[in-house]
Structure 1
Amino acid sequence: MSIIKAIYNFLVGDIVILVGIIITLLILVLLNAVSGLSMLRGASGIIMILGTLIVLTLTLTRELRGHR
């Protein structure tokens, strides 16, 4: 079990990052799969960048608040 945890901590490091990126990717998959949302396909790169930045900002904010 400690080997799995070590690999997880090396690759991800935080569950918030993992869940946030998975949710962002699911949103992008929905944009590409649902034909009614086809007008937003051009903005998928911007959505990925914003989603990633939001997740990383939330994680950093949580870390800073936890060390006070």
Structure 2
Amino acid sequence: MNIIKAIYNFIVGDMVILIGIIVTVLILVLLNTVSGLSALRGASGIIMILGTLTVLTLTLTREVRGHRAR
């Protein structure tokens, strides 16, 4: 079990990052598969960048607040 946790921590590092990126990718998949959302396909790159930056900012903010409380 320790090996799996070590690999997870090396690749992802945080559950918020993993879930946030998965949600962002699922939104992009919906944009590409649902015909009603075809107008937003051109903005998929911007959506990916903004989603990733938001997730990383949330994680960094949580880490900074956690270190201040200690």
Structure 2 length-normalised TM:
0.97
Gaps of 5+ in 2: none
Gaps of 5+ in 1: none
RMSD after superposition? 0.2
1:15-35 CA distance string (max 9 Å, x none): 000000000000000000000
Where does structure 1 differ by over 4 angstroms across 4 or more consecutive aligned residues? none
Identity over the aligned pairs, expressed in percent? 85
Give, in whole Å, the separation in 2 of the partners of 1:24 and 1:66: 25
| AA partner of residue 53 (structure 1) | L
- 2:46 alignment counterpart: 46
The structural deviation recorded for 1:59 is 0.1
Give, in whole Å, the separation in 2 of the partners of 1:13 and 1:43: 28
Give, in whole Å, the separation in 2 of the partners of 1:67 and 1:2: 25
Give, in whole Å, the separation in 2 of the partners of 1:65 and 1:18: 20
Number of corresponding residues: 68
Matched, 1:17 2:13: no
Give, in whole Å, the separation in 2 of the partners of 1:6 and 1:63: 19
